[in-house]
Structure 1
Amino acid sequence: MPLTKITGGKLYDPTNGVDGEVRDLWIEGGRIVSPPADPTIHPARVINASGLAVMPGGVDIHCHIAGPAANAARIITPDQRRGEGNVLRRSDLTRSGTLGSVPSTFATGYKYAGLGYTTAFDAAIAPLGSRHAHLEFADTPCIDKGCFILMGNNQYALEAIEANDPARLRMFIAWLLGATKGYAPKLVNPGGVEVWKQSSTARGHGLDDPIPGYKITPRAVIREIVAAANDLGLPHPAHIHCNQLGMPGNWRTTLATMEAVESRRAHFAHIQFHSYGGGEGDEFSMSSRVADLADYVNAHPNLTVDVGQVMFGDAVAMTADGAAGYFLHKLYGNRWFNCDVEVEAGCGVTPIEYRRKSIVHALQWAIGLEWYLLVDDPWQVMMSTDHPNGGSFLAYPQIIRLLMDREFRRAAFARCPAAVRERCILGDLDREYTLSEIAVITRSGPARALGLKQKGHLGAGADADVTIYTPSENYQEMFELPRMVIKAGETIVDQGELRATPDGVALHNAPAFDQDRLPALESWFNDHYSLKIKNYALA
């Protein structure tokens, strides 16, 4: 395979301890390789990166870009996708598409690539929706992708936990990931969605409240699924959306959930939405409790979080937490979509607009930034907007500027309502991120948390996913328009123009499991589902 050499660039490769050093990078066969030992060997192609910043391709650990919920979000938000600025025209290289809060599949791939991202994970796919998700993945070019499979309200999982049968639960998790081509288990409001299906007012289900129909609690669901996933040795054992999302006072539930995983590895999703002080159900008393939760994360290196940063403007609440979707629909009076996916999960979708003048919305914005600034180790906190829940992934460059430019952040904070400044400590935080720390929270950290040893770094053997940026004092401009993006050794973006649209690959796990338990699962499955188990698994 022909050799490519990227020369003269300043490399930011935190995984390998490289912080802005001028080094050459060699690529062959879609991988980064060591420099040739023979000095007479010359590259077929040389990329001059002198004066430029070279980083691994971005890795988005938490977004919603495919599957039935994303499709429903596109259907119920036609107003967000109208107008010439939201339409992508077909070209000799690209397919047509739409933008808005939830871009169409092809547009999603193009726009991620345009930011320098080469990998993204959909964070909540019901097992029965995985076939749909993978079909959309096939139409999402330029990036590698994977999905987390919903398990926290799956009735078979709940029965295995109630029966105190860890082996049965491990077998089910392993089988389900293989059958759905999923990457990791996802828990969303564990046990709470099952409660809400029986009563639309039961949104605030606590961690130790019994789950109707079962002799277990959400705490038991979290503890046992996290334990089983860790025992299976999964690269990303558990991705947790805590109970009581968005409710004032929910920080106590979040802290209790962190304690419930004990010393096991676990990732907490869109943590901003779970960090609120105040009286339960009283949004007027809402405040930040990030400091308390960040202290716990700082003391527990087994935990990682992504932020779920709220950005002002249009968004879509799109969640497997049907209770939260219903609450927001009632709160804002917007149209909404809801789905109960057989015995597996629930789903809620409703449009939302975040307004700077709103005390609650501005406080959510500030709380997200506090998370980035209060977690000591950037390897434990990762960039996300919970796309499209807090805003679009296209806002990542603006978030980077807010983190790297203290004066820009202060000016933005000063435009928020005065009451917000009394309910959080953002105004007291002086920390500014470095380019190396940005590389951690957008690339190296997510790759490590996901167990992707071939992603997020520039060492020999890594995928040749490379982004080259032109340094600028305006960090938003710097990260909005990469000089070049390379995917698996192929240049896909050059000077802001798409040059190639490769398919990318679907990343998934299929752990081994006890085959002797399959007949019992098949019997249960055929009694409860509307389709046969033989038609369930993806080929």
Structure 2
Amino acid sequence: MSLFRIKNGTVYDPANGVNGEVRDLWIQDGKIIDRPLDADSFTGKTLDASGYTVMPGGIDMHCHIAGPKVNAGRKMTPEMKRQAAPIFRTEQTRSGTGGVVPSTFATGYLFASIGYTTAMDAAIPGLHARHAHEELQDTPILDKGFYLLFGNNHFVMKHLRNQDQNALDSYCAWLLESAKGYTIKIVNPGGVEDWKQISRKSMWELDAPVEGFGVTPRQIVRGLAGTADRLELPHSVHIHCNNLGIPGNWETTLNTMESLEGHRGHLAHVQFHSYDGDPNDPSSFSSATQKLVDYVQSHENITVDVGHINPGLTLSMTGDTPFSQFLHNINRNKWYTADCELESSCGVIPIEYRPQRSLIHAVQWAIALEWYLLMEDPWRVVMTSDHPNGGAFYHYPEIIYLLMDKSFRDEFLSQMPEAIRERSVLADLTREYSLYEIAIITRAAPARVLGMKDKGHLGTGAHADITIYSPQQNRQEMFERPRWVFKDGEMVVADGEIQAHHFGRTFFTAPEFDQEFLPQIKDWFNDNYSIRFGNYQIDEGELPLAEKIACTPE
């Protein structure tokens, strides 16, 4: 690729300490390079970004865009697609369907249209990894990858029970490499397996044994967090805590943080785990954000993404089947659940958030904003909506506006039940995010948390993923329609219109492990899975632009 310059843009690049400085960016072969020696006499391709805001491409580190539950959600909600604007085929694009769970092509186009160039699917079972990769290959523009589910895996619990650390580490490393996953994901550790095999209820206590396995949720969290650190995975263990959505669950969340015992840990969609109140009395529902923020701020081994909710109809899809059943029992809506043998299960159910009418939904909406506004260190709190659980990713510009403009927040708050002021401290928070801080929570922080050293910044060697915005007082309008978006140095969006059908890369890790355990792993698979071991491993050559992330944490 020939040399290309973006000149005179107002650059926000927190990873390199650049806060609104007018600078030039030089791009060659899809990467950002140093200023050339002959820059003063350069007459080649140039884009004049004078007066525009320049940031790295956005990164969604926790969303659901591939895998069995995403496809189940697409199938069971045709009405959502009928209500969405169609995406027609053009010279640059293929056709797709929108809605809260867009088709693969539409997912890539819609992410790019708001300035995002990287997205990580948050929960894929090992036995469904091959098909998830097929879908990711079908998703244009974005770089992507997925986290692999381990928190209810029989083999994991067996080795934890036997206190066999080497076997546990080797199994996790082998499965990550075989399935081409990015890191270890835990969903309701032990609780999903207990629900589907025995109890049909969620596990409340972290020290309650998982029936039939002789281990507890605390041991699963602590054990897998240790494995992620010993394997030097670029991203820590990624945790969806027990008791999601239940009043009073903040204590479970705190206990989960404590169970890390100093190991790195990332807590996903923490808004759904920050509730005070009595689990038997929904009317007691309130915010416990400050208690958890205090702990996170004093423990640098912990990071979080928020999982905010947006008003309107969406789809809950999760590997936490007990929660899906709980939600179904509340709203009696159509519900789908599926089991992946010996690994995980999932639940899918439509849901509508109405914070203007529902006090509980209003508290949820407020808690998400509390997390952003109470955390003093924006480098450890990442913007997500747990797409589509809290709402579709294309609502992010509205959240940005809420964070940057207190008057806009107050206007929203005034439309909600008055009792929200007794259940949340949001009305008292005056902080307003700057563009620099927005660039942190949407770009620089997720890249750092993921251990991606050439993402989320505009320094030398970074992927030339660049979003350029037209400054506007209404920040929602500004972030909804970037002026230009570049992926690997190629213009893929101009004024909201897709310009190129670029395909990104797939990220995965391949940690080293003790090969002595490989025959044992294969034998165990053949003895326990109805699907024979066979040709399980996905070859790197099958993934376009596959890129192995070096297994060295930041």
Q: TM-score when scaled to structure 2?
A: 0.96
State how 1:47-66 maps to structure 2 within 5 Å.
47-66=47-66
CA distance in 2, matches of 1:147, 1:108: 15
Deviations 1:223-264 (A, max 9, x none): 000001111100002100000000000000000100111222
**How far apart are residue 97 of structure 1 and its match?**
1.1
**How far apart are residue 141 of structure 1 and its match?**
0.2
Equivalent position SS for 2:508: coil
**How far apart are residue 180 of structure 1 and its match?**
0.7
State how 1:453-468 maps to structure 2 within 5 Å.
453-468=453-468
CA distance in 2, matches of 1:158, 1:125: 18
Q: What residue in structure 2 maps to residue 303 of structure 1?
A: 302
Q: Which amino acid aligns with 1:470?
A: S
Equivalent position SS for 2:313: strand
Q: Is the 8 A contact 1:272 1:367 kept in 2?
A: yes
State how 1:193-342 maps to structure 2 within 5 Å.
193-199=192-198, 201-342=200-341
Q: What residue in structure 2 maps to residue 354 of structure 1?
A: 353
Structure 1 window deviating more from structure 2 (115-124 vs 128-137): it is 128-137
Q: What residue in structure 2 maps to residue 399 of structure 1?
A: 399
Equivalent position SS for 2:419: helix
CA distance in 2, matches of 1:126, 1:181: 12
Q: What residue in structure 2 maps to residue 149 of structure 1?
A: 148
CA distance in 1, matches of 2:404, 2:263: 32
CA distance in 1, matches of 2:280, 2:449: 33
Q: Is the 8 A contact 2:140 2:503 kept in 1?
A: yes
Is 1:412 the counterpart of 2:412? The answer is yes
Q: Is the 8 A contact 2:198 2:211 kept in 1?
A: no
CA distance in 2, matches of 1:496, 1:41: 33
Q: What residue in structure 1 maps to residue 133 of structure 2?
A: 134
Q: What residue in structure 1 maps to residue 171 of structure 2?
A: 172
CA distance in 1, matches of 2:491, 2:307: 30
Q: Which amino acid aligns with 1:512?
A: E
Percent identity at matched positions? 53
Equivalent position SS for 1:120: strand
Q: Which amino acid aligns with 1:213?
A: G
Q: What residue in structure 2 maps to residue 108 of structure 1?
A: 107
CA distance in 2, matches of 1:205, 1:510: 34
**How far apart are residue 406 of structure 1 and its match?**
0.5
Q: Is the 8 A contact 2:204 2:252 kept in 1?
A: no
1:37–1:289: structure 2 CA closer, same or farther, 3 Å change rule? same
CA distance in 2, matches of 1:435, 1:262: 35
**How far apart are residue 89 of structure 1 and its match?**
1.5
State how 1:463-482 maps to structure 2 within 5 Å.
463-482=463-482
Q: Which amino acid aligns with 1:185?
A: I
Equivalent position SS for 2:291: helix
**How far apart are residue 82 of structure 1 and its match?**
0.2
CA distance in 2, matches of 1:475, 1:204: 42
**How far apart are residue 205 of structure 1 and its match?**
3.2
CA distance in 1, matches of 2:33, 2:328: 52
1:281–1:87: structure 2 CA closer, same or farther, 3 Å change rule? farther
Q: Which amino acid aligns with 1:412?
A: F
CA distance in 2, matches of 1:127, 1:321: 16
Deviations 1:79-111 (A, max 9, x none): 11104x431112222111111110111000000
CA distance in 1, matches of 2:96, 2:324: 27
Q: What residue in structure 1 maps to residue 375 of structure 2?
A: 375
Q: Which amino acid aligns with 2:155?
A: Y
Q: Is the 8 A contact 1:5 1:43 kept in 2?
A: no
Is 1:5 the counterpart of 2:5? The answer is yes
Equivalent position SS for 1:240: strand
Equivalent position SS for 2:280: coil
Runs of 4+ in 1 over 6 A off after TM superposition: none
Deviations 1:420-449 (A, max 9, x none): 221111101001000000000000000000
1:39–1:147: structure 2 CA closer, same or farther, 3 Å change rule? closer
Q: Is the 8 A contact 1:126 1:344 kept in 2?
A: yes
CA distance in 1, matches of 2:213, 2:532: 25
Q: What residue in structure 1 maps to residue 81 of structure 2?
A: 81
Deviations 1:294-340 (A, max 9, x none): 01111111111000001110111100001111111221111111111
**How far apart are residue 198 of structure 1 and its match?**
2.6
CA distance in 1, matches of 2:89, 2:151: 41
Equivalent position SS for 2:229: helix
Structure 1 window deviating more from structure 2 (318-327 vs 525-534): it is 525-534
Q: What residue in structure 1 maps to residue 545 of structure 2?
A: none
CA distance in 2, matches of 1:174, 1:303: 22
Q: Which amino acid aligns with 1:446?
A: P
CA distance in 2, matches of 1:132, 1:174: 20
CA distance in 1, matches of 2:431, 2:267: 23
Q: What residue in structure 2 maps to residue 529 of structure 1?
A: 529
Q: Is the 8 A contact 1:249 1:279 kept in 2?
A: yes
Q: Is the 8 A contact 1:4 1:43 kept in 2?
A: no
Q: TM-score when scaled to structure 1?
A: 0.98
Deviations 1:109-132 (A, max 9, x none): 000000100000000111111111
Aligned length: 538
Q: Is the 8 A contact 1:195 1:205 kept in 2?
A: no
CA distance in 2, matches of 1:416, 1:67: 36
Equivalent position SS for 2:534: helix
**How far apart are residue 199 of structure 1 and its match?**
4.1
Is 1:28 the counterpart of 2:37? The answer is no
CA distance in 1, matches of 2:180, 2:221: 22
State how 1:435-450 maps to structure 2 within 5 Å.
435-450=435-450
CA distance in 2, matches of 1:511, 1:501: 32
Q: What residue in structure 2 maps to residue 520 of structure 1?
A: 520
Gaps of 5+ in 2: 540-554
Q: Is the 8 A contact 2:307 2:368 kept in 1?
A: yes
CA distance in 1, matches of 2:282, 2:103: 34
Deviations 1:360-411 (A, max 9, x none): 1111001111001011100000000000000000110000000000000011
**How far apart are residue 282 of structure 1 and its match?**
1.9
CA distance in 1, matches of 2:339, 2:231: 29
Q: Which amino acid aligns with 2:137?
A: A
Q: What residue in structure 2 maps to residue 497 of structure 1?
A: 497
Deviations 1:487-536 (A, max 9, x none): 00100001221110111111111111111111111111111101222332
Q: Which amino acid aligns with 1:375?
A: M
Q: Which amino acid aligns with 1:76?
A: M
Q: What residue in structure 2 maps to residue 37 of structure 1?
A: 37
Gaps of 5+ in 1: none
